[in-house]
């Protein structure tokens, strides 16, 4: 009597093999995506050794992204071209909404999104396990730096607060680490959140002594775009990214000063002062002045 499925002679009731059965391959899971969020019930990242192993995978993935970029300028270009920040962060100078990004840019965004999501899982694991040691500080600072470079404040801002309020009081950062993290918090408060009073209060609370941060706060207080632009070119890449949040508002104040002060100016002087081209000033900043050859007519004298 044949077994179920009509087995061959000599095989008894064993199901027949199919021509394609040996070709099936196990699904390859991304090591970053295979780990779940602790807040969603995946408790693997509560284990300290698992946290360290997962962090190594995250860093390896990030280093691969950097290696693919090759030269430093290309890496900076990729960071600058990515748009991981939420809609509303400087939308006037972003790419048109109806323009589909090239495949390479989509791949870059996917690579960094995977890293940021993995860092979120790791941070949840560190918080849930109440870990406060050198590793926790290292992982948090790595997350903060990367998130700042892609202007993802949903990642770096809570990470800065947890590091300063929960980890540092229990396990102290070095003076260099503390000053770095506090400087990010002060600049983010002044530039993105546009709260100069709170920025000065944070500088005083953490006794931050940083001449460049002081100069930036002074430039923002006086709406000095020329000095602001000069300082932006002198700070490191992470601070320069934070300063981008305030660039538009300070430049618009500069343009209002031009409007109140000058009847006309040379186009080259205006473009250099505003660090923006004439097409950008008219299309993106709403400048309604007239261009007459190499001069910009700001106001016309009314005939008596």
Half-sphere exposure of 53 (CA within 13 A, CB side): 9
Query: Which positions ≥6 away from 304 have C-beta within 8 Å?
Result: none
Tell me the CATH number at 43. 1.25.40
> Pick the residue with more confidence: 205 or 22?
205
- State the Cα–Cα distance between residues 283 and 257, nearest whole angstrom: 19
pLDDT exceeds 80 at position 9: no
Instruction: State residue 28's pLDDT score.
Output: 67
**pLDDT tens profile 124-177:** 999 999 999 999 999 999 999 999 998 999 999 999 999 999 999 999 999 999
In a domain, 24, yes or no: no
Domain holding 146, by residue range, is 35-80+105-252
**pLDDT tens profile 219-246:** 999 999 989 999 999 999 999 999 999 9
**pLDDT tens profile 22-56:** 565 655 678 888 899 999 999 999 999 999 999 99
Confidence grade of residue 108 (pLDDT, cut at 50, 70, 90): low
276 and 228 assigned to the same domain: no
pLDDT exceeds 60 at position 14: no
Single pTM value for the model: 0.78
146 and 270 assigned to the same domain: no
Give the tokens for residue 175: 């003076």
In a domain, 2, yes or no: no
Please give, one letter per residue, the 3-state secondary structure of 241-288.
Answer: HHHHHHHHHHHHHHHHHHHHHCCEEEHHHHHHHHCCCHHHHHHCCCCC
From residue 64, give the alpha-carbon distance in Å to each of 29, 59, 69, 151.
Answer: 18, 9, 9, 20
Residue whose entry in the numeric block shows the structure tokens 């680490």: 177
pLDDT, averaged across the chain: 82
């Amino acid at each position: 009597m044949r077994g179920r499925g009509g087995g061959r002679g000599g095989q008894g009731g064993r199901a027949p093999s199919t021509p394609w059965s040996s070709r099936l391959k196990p699904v390859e899971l991304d090591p970053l995506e295979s780990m779940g969020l602790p807040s969603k019930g995946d408790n693997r990242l509560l284990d300290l050794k698992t946290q360290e192993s997962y962090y190594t995978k995250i860093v390896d993935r990030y280093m691969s992204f950097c290696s693919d970029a090759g030269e430093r300028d290309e890496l900076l270009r990729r960071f600058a071209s990515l748009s991981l920040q939420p809609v509303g962060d400087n939308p006037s100078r972003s790419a048109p909404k109806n323009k589909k990004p090239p495949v390479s840019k989509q791949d870059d965004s996917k690579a960094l999104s995977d890293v940021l999501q993995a860092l979120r899982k790791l941070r949840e694991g560190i918080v849930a396990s109440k870990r406060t040691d050198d590793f926790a500080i290292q992982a948090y600072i790595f997350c903060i730096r990367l998130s700042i470079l892609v202007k993802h404040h949903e990642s770096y801002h809570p990470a800065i607060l947890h590091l300063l309020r929960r980890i540092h009081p229990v396990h102290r950062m070095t003076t260099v680490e503390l000053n770095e993290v506090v400087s990010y918090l002060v600049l983010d408060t002044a530039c993105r959140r546009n709260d100069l009073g709170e920025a000065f209060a944070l500088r005083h609370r953490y006794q931050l002594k940083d001449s460049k941060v002081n100069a930036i706060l002074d430039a923002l207080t006086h709406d000095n775009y020329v000095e602001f632009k000069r300082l932006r070119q002198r700070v490191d890449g992470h601070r320069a990214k934070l300063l981008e949040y305030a660039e538009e508002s300070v430049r618009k104040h500069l343009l209002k000063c031009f409007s109140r002060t000058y009847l006309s100016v040379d186009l080259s002087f205006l473009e250099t002062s505003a660090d923006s081209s004439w097409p950008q000033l008219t299309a993106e900043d709403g400048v309604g002045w007239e261009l007459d050859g190499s001069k910009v007519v700001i106001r016309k004298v009314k005939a008596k």
